[in-house]
Amino acid sequence: MKTKGTLLIMGGNCTNDFFISEFAGLAGGIESKVVIIPTAMEDKYIDSVSDLNFLKKPFIDFGFKNIDIIHTRETKVANSDFLNKKLLTADAVWIAGGRQWRLAKVYNGTKIQNSLKTLLNQGKVIAGTSAGASIMGDVLVRGDSKNHTIMLGDYKNGFGFVTNLAIDQHHIARNRQFDMFELKKERPNVLGIGIDENTGIVLHKNKFRVLGKSYVTIYDNTRWSEERDTIYQLDASEKQFYTLTNGYEYDIVRRKVIQKNDRKKLPYKEDILRKITGTYQQSKGLKFGQDLRITIVLEENELYFEQSWNKVKYRVDYHYLNTFFRPNSISTYHFNKDKTGAFSSFLFFQYAYGVSNWVKM
């Protein structure tokens, strides 16, 4: 991935407040201009004003005010200045589900495809769910116009936001775990990613974080064991995969789970640090009468976390996309923005203990 932008890639059944909230935070808040692309859907679901209003409704209900829809079935319209000028004014794009070949048929090789890449080059956000997820890679999974069970069909190329990548969706919900090996047989060097429903990844600068309720399945010609802290290289004939859950990170260039020794401190802007300072309460702890707090302070351009329950204070470093880590530790902190674009919470992740949510007071 060679762009400055961010991809929110979801496995289906994700048009809900959880993922729209994530989308809003990445986009900069509900004042951002959003474009929805519903072209993967059947005509009967998008052929009237009421259909389009229904498509907008979850975003309007969440608070977005500036929403536009871009859709056509004709390549010449996809090359029109009218549609592309509308698209290029967007802060964020949401590509809806359906059948991914419809997206490839109309938009591949057109100005729309180029405009989407331009938005990413400008640091904007593109989200896709189901078919909108599969279209993001350069190898199009289930792109056959006749049968969605064919892994490499008559439309083989996605939008190519990420090279050498194939993305499947509805993965565990539809028992698709072994289908990727059909594609890997023809394209053995492709990185395969399967994303289940109500689950997604946030991909930025060749690293992604898993979020949501279920699993992301990795097909990278290795098998990773967290218990053994080992990555096993597989022979070409071995059909193995492994899964990641909420909070895990992955490097798509090195093709491995990000562990503590893989994290590199990156420079960060002081204004970002100041925005995340403050005191945060653990939301789950409050339900049990435990007022657990972490206070974040900035001292000489270094960020420190202090725990209320034991007064331990430790430094954290910036990793990527509002993600921080404790040096020489497995602990990671993913900061989230609310619908106004302000930092309002963080997810604290540890390999052995999972994820806890901390909300700013």
Edge-to-edge strand list for the sheet holding 242-244 = 137-139, 162-169, 191-195, 216-219, 242-244
Look at residue 332 and give its three-state secondary structure: strand
pLDDT at residue number 329: 83
pLDDT at residue number 273: 83
Q: How many residues does the chain have?
A: 361
d(CA 29, CA 23): 9
pLDDT at residue number 124: 96
Q: What is the CA 108 to chain-centroid distance, rounded?
A: 22
In sequence order, what are the residues at sequence separation of 6 or more whose Cβ sits closer than 8 angstroms to the Cβ of residue 78?
72, 106, 107, 110, 111, 112
Query: Six-digit token pair at 271?
Result: 């204004």
Look at residue 50 and give its three-state secondary structure: helix
- Residue pair 190/163 in contact (Cβ under 8 Å)? The answer is no
d(CA 67, CA 135): 22
pLDDT at residue number 3: 74
d(CA 72, CA 46): 11
d(CA 309, CA 48): 57
Task: Please state at what angle helix 81-88 crosses helix 111-121, rounded to 10 degrees.
Answer: 20
- Tell me which residue of 36, 27, 25 sits closest to 92, measured CA to CA: 27
Q: Between vectors from CA 298 to CA 297 and to CA 299, what angle results, nearest 5°? A: 115
pLDDT at residue number 62: 93
Query: CA-CA distances (angstroms) from residue 211 to 179, 200, 230, 246, 322?
Result: 23, 5, 23, 4, 14
- Tell me which residue of 179, 129, 137 sits closest to 157, measured CA to CA: 137
**What is the number of other CB atoms lying within 10 angstroms of the CB of residue 118?**
16
In sequence order, what are the residues at sequence separation of 6 or more whose Cβ sits closer than 8 angstroms to the Cβ of residue 291?
281, 285, 308
The 3-class SS string of 225-291 reads ECCCCEEEECCCCCCCCEEECCCCEEECCCCEECCHHHCCCCCCCHHHHHHHCEEEEEHHHHHCCCC
pLDDT at residue number 98: 95
Within 13 Å of residue 239, how many CA atoms lie on the same side as its CB? 9
pLDDT averages per 10-residue partition of the chain, 361 residues: 88 91 93 96 92 94 95 96 95 96 97 97 96 96 93 94 96 94 93 97 94 95 84 86 93 91 81 88 72 90 90 91 87 90 90 85 88
- Tell me which residue of 189, 177, 329 sits closest to 259, measured CA to CA: 329
Within 13 Å of residue 222, how many CA atoms lie on the same side as its CB? 14
Look at residue 147 and give its three-state secondary structure: coil
- Residue pair 37/221 in contact (Cβ under 8 Å)? The answer is no
